[in-house]
Structure 1
Amino acid sequence: MSRVNDVGGQSGFGPLEIEADEPPFHADWEARVYALNTALVRSGVYTLDEFRDAVERMAPAAYLSASYYERWLHAIETLVAERKVLGDG
């Protein structure tokens, strides 16, 4: 089953824009999302494969309208909720 992120070989998405001389993060919150994901993976809450799958499970419209780190945040929120890391409520 193909997911929205699987665009290999498809056309119509325009050229790939490579950001030259850009910082790794465009906003402080992006760095925090990166650090949070690293901490959760290292602590064994989930694996990188599970994280990638959570990104790929996003609804197509949400995936296409989200930035890179917005997708990361969605995956973290999804996995933390699924594993009840913060409790039931």
Structure 2
Amino acid sequence: MEAVGVTCTDCHMPKATKSATNKGKYEGDVKTHIFKINTDPKAEMFYEEEVKGKKATFARGFVTLDFACLNCHKNKDINWAAAKAKGIHRYGKM
């Protein structure tokens, strides 16, 4: 299912990485190169770990619905995104 003007990378490669500028709660300033979307509404894309005495943030290897969906669908919530994400490619291109 493809909306007008929406491409695969809009959802599968959202701007989730933050190099220098925090643009919004679910938007970074650099597109991630993690393509897989985890549709579990409880999944967390990032985790923190202490490395050499300093807190560091790492990605888990998948994009979560908050970054894939809620950056555009700002008036919706994570449960709405989870319900809509299941089978979204059923009728359209992948």
- TM-score surpassing 0.5? no
Bigger RCO (CA 8 Å, 6+ sep): 1
Q: Shorter-chain-normalised TM-score: which range?
A: under 0.3
Relative to the length of structure 2, the TM-score reads 0.26
Query: Which structure's residues are more often strand, by fraction?
Result: 2
Structure ID, larger Rg? 1
